Structure 1
Amino acid sequence: MKNKHVARILQNIGDILEIRGENPFRVRAYRRAAHSIEALGVDLAELRRADRLTDIPGVGRDLAGKITEILDTGTCAYYDRLIREIPAGIVQLLTVPGIGPRTARILYEELQISGLDELERLGRAGRLAELRGLGEKTQNKILSGLELVRRGRERLPLGRVYPFASALVETIRAGGAPVERISVAGSIRRFQDTVKDVDIVAASGKPEAVIRFFTRLGFWTEILEEGSTRAAARTEEGLRVDLRVVDPAVYGAALCYLTGSKAHNIRMRQLAAQKGLKLNEYGVFRDDRCIAGAEEDDVFAALELPFIPPELREDHGEIEAALEGTLPRLVEKKDLRGDFHVHSVYSDGAGTLEDIAAEALRLGLEWVGVCDHSHSLKIARGLSIRDLRQKIAAVRAFNQQSTGVKLLAGAEVEIDAHGRLDYPDEVLAELDLVLVGVHTGFGQDRETMTARIVAALQHPAVHVLAHPTGRLLGERAPYQVDMDRVIAAAARASTALEINAYPKRLDLDDIHARQAARKGAKMALGSDAHLVEQIGFLELGVGVARRAWLGPVDVLNTLGWAELGTALGKGKFRLLNG
């Protein structure tokens, strides 16, 4: 949670510097560092202890010093000085997508808006459109941005909450609390892309001791409930955590009940009633006798169902499939052989080729696509053609001497506003792996954006469309694009669609990924790692794939190194350094 606090301060510094008209490179430096820190996947304090803060993309020694100061004191002198020099309301306005520094200053100076509630009230009344230089289009964009901010406050990205929830469960398990079994439940266990709170279920014969251990943990800002079998607390970020302690004899039933969505649980109870049974959080009952409850498998078996994986428990057809015996064998983390999307020191990543391979080996992978940005994306240190060729040569040399993990010489190539790619065809032909993506021009209309992406998908050198909708959870809505047409074009062209596992993205989402698989398109999981530790984000991508009902055959990462050459069929996925 400290990562989020540090990132917020660095983001605010960048915003203030932009308002003051400071050097745009300084502004970008703070924002880039904030973005990197928020999605680290590892605790900043750990990197500091290892003297590795400068490994974070965009963090040099000066920024490392400010991060250290914030970790020690909660703030830094430079930030405190800056916020004294501008009205606090302007900084708050800048949190709304669609409001830049110029617009924030106009809103503050012309209407004295100093808060989001006031901004919404005046926007709904049409007052923003009356201001010179804004207009109705900008007003509508601001109101849409406000809705995004509101949703972001109500629900947090899974990638931000999942590591905390997992660590909390491990803390309770390993910290001396008398639990026999314990698990995260709720929307986190179903791998929903955003979550409202954390649900934890524990089995113990000493529930009061478990509750006491939980409520005495040092990072709660508020204890909301403390009973004999239930407790609830709130973190500094406002996240609510609920703990339920049950008898081991009903642990499976409680976990089923607290994992499934409301709609799924209703269907399960209806199915039980049809069989003359009663199902609740305490078990499956025939008359007054409990016939199942200790294990989730037993609960499903009592209803004559196979085990339904947690990620599917949404009432999206899983119960019907279970009754018919057609539930798919879902892809698992252990099935993965590689990662399609990792950045290196050649662009805006922190890992060398050797670092990336070592982490991949630690995670049990066989190969990694090293895909750095193309040259037009200057903010991400995109590679010139000369630098790209140097990287290709380095990958070739690495693979010649590596007896373990192999690397793909790849690139994340920008799709320009007209659907053209950022490197000429003769350069693309030298690459093992070509990811393409949109990083600029997000405001294009639906038809233009769709045509832009479809044109890139049809290029014969393209293997994967990266983060297909461009969303950033809680920060940026998907751009306007006809995903039906994109999916159909990808299937026709034998181009894979990425499930980008970076915590802020999780893009494609499960709905579109399931649709794509039905249309015959393949999925490629990419961690989009900028630190080597972030390759572990693949676990989040697996969660999305499982929610999408995808099996190993649907996910190209399950292919071993020797199989990659024919992975996409029709000769489109060619490896040049196998």
Structure 2
Amino acid sequence: MEFFADYHTHTVYSDGGGTIEENARAAKEKGLEVLGITDHGPANIGVGVKNADTYLEIKEEIEAVRLKIPELKILCGAEANITGLDGAIDIPDNIVRKLDFLIVGLHPFVWGKSPADFLSIVAGNQLAPVSQSIREKVKVNNTKALIECIHKHKVFCISHPGLKMPVDIEELSRHCAARDTALEINTGHKYNKHELVVKALPAGVNFVVNSDAHFPDTVGRLLDGRLVLDRFNVPVDRVTNAR
């Protein structure tokens, strides 16, 4: 199994340490054919892009870098944040339509669409470790929000499902399979990827292995994902960025 793309990388436009061109050159050196630039949505407290219009600036810069590195396909995406239990995200539709693709994820510190959403998403997940009953309620809310989102938007993949914020993987996988939304195996974070694959496989959902690189030298660092896939004999046709 070989990976030809890394669809999830960050730049200085959000909390990354490299420029678009630096990420692109790193991707080329790693032998990748496709690179996704997916900076954090603006609701991600302290790390998101300045505002949604920033993606238009990113897209313009990508066009310039494409001329310098024509052999690499560079895509303009975003890692949007869930901001409401109804599946709302922090990037408006008029901007989403101009992106090449959309990644959506749950993050622990975001500005909610409303005070109630802020309490559910931020406070709820912070309180989840306190008791099993709170954790189960939060898990239901997190799962519902993601499912609502993928039915409202064309989502390429869910970023790092289960990282820090509990999700019902089996339920989410069934809906993702129906909507052709992949589940990400994220090599940039340590979490239970084995459990993710075991629970998601029966639903027929596809996977995508991404680095979530925040620095150029980690772009394309995908080996950990391949080891997980190999361990559970995941067929290559279930992996969006592999052949």
Q: Give the aligned partner of residue 140 of structure 2.
A: 447
What's the CA shift for 1:400?
4.1
Pair 1:482-2:168 in alignment? yes
1:403 alignment partner, SS class: coil
Decide whether aligned partners of structure 1 residues 400 and 458 sit closer, same or farther in structure 2, where only a CA change above 3 A counts.
Answer: farther
Q: Residues 246-304 of structure 1, C-alpha deviation per residue, up to 9 Å, x if partnerless? A: xxxxxxxxxxxxxxxxxxxxxxxxxxxxxxxxxxxxxxxxxxxxxxxxxxxxxxxxxxx
| Rounded Cα–Cα distance in structure 2 between residues aligned with 1:495 and 1:558 | 16
**TM-score with structure 2 setting the length:** 0.83
Q: Specify the structure having the higher radius of gyration (Cα).
A: 1
TM norm structure 1: 0.36
Partner of 1:430: 98
- C-alpha distance in 2 between matches for 1:376 and 1:526: 22
Q: Tell me, yes or no, if structure 1 residue 501 matches structure 2 residue 187.
A: yes
- Flag the 1:338–1:467 CA change in 2: closer, same or farther, 3 A: same
Q: 2:219 is matched with which residue?
A: 535
- Alignment correspondent of 2:37: 370
Aligned residues: 217
Asked if the contact 1:399/1:407 (under 8 Å) is kept, the reply is yes
> Cα distance, 1:398 vs. partner?
2.3
Q: Percent identity?
A: 29
Distance in 2 of aligned mates of 1:383 and 1:552: 38
- The question of whether the paired residues in 2 share the 8 Å contact of 1:466 and 1:498 is answered with yes
Whole-angstrom CA distance in 1 between matches of 2:25 and 2:139: 42
Other-structure match for 1:464: 157
Query: Which residue does the alignment assign to 1:565?
Result: none
3-state SS, counterpart of residue 433 of structure 1: coil
Query: Do the aligned partners of 2:34 and 2:75 also contact (CA within 8 Å) in 1?
Result: yes
Query: Is the CA contact (8 Å cut-off) linking 1:525 and 1:538 kept in structure 2?
Result: yes
2:177 is the counterpart of 1:510: no
Does the aligned pair in 1 maintain the 2:186–2:225 contact within 8 Å?
Answer: yes
1:405 partnered with 2:98? no
**d(CA) in 2 for partners of 1:364 and 1:403?**
14
1:536 to partner: Cα distance = 4.6
Bigger relative contact order, structure 1 or 2 (CA pairs below 8 A, ≥6 apart)? 2
Cα distance between partner residues in 2 of 1:401 and 1:465 = 31
Considering fraction of residues, name the structure with more helix. Answer: 1
Q: Distance in 2 between matches of 1:448 and 1:404?
A: 43
1:539 Cα offset (Å): 1.0
Q: Is the 8 A contact 1:514 1:550 kept in 2?
A: no
Q: Which runs of 4+ in 1 moved over 6 A?
A: none
Pair 407,455 (structure 1): closer, same or farther in 2 beyond 3 Å: same
Quote the Cα distance in structure 2 between the aligned partners of 1:484 and 1:515: 6
Asked whether the equivalents of residues 510 and 544 of structure 1 are also in contact (C-alpha less than 8 Å), the reply is yes
Gaps of 5+ in 1: 1-331, 472-478, 560-578
Q: Residue 336 of structure 1 corresponds to which residue in structure 2? A: 3
Letter in 1 for 2:104: V
Q: How many angstroms does 1:439 deviate by?
A: 0.6
| Runs of 5+ unmatched residues, structure 2 | 109-121, 129-136
Q: Which amino acid aligns with 1:551?
A: P
Partners of 2:209 and 2:139 lie apart in 1 by 26
SS at match of 2:175: helix
Answer yes or no: is 1:558 the counterpart of 2:226.
Answer: no
Question: Following TM superposition, by how much is the alpha carbon of 1:423 offset from its aligned partner in structure 2, in angstroms?
Answer: 0.9
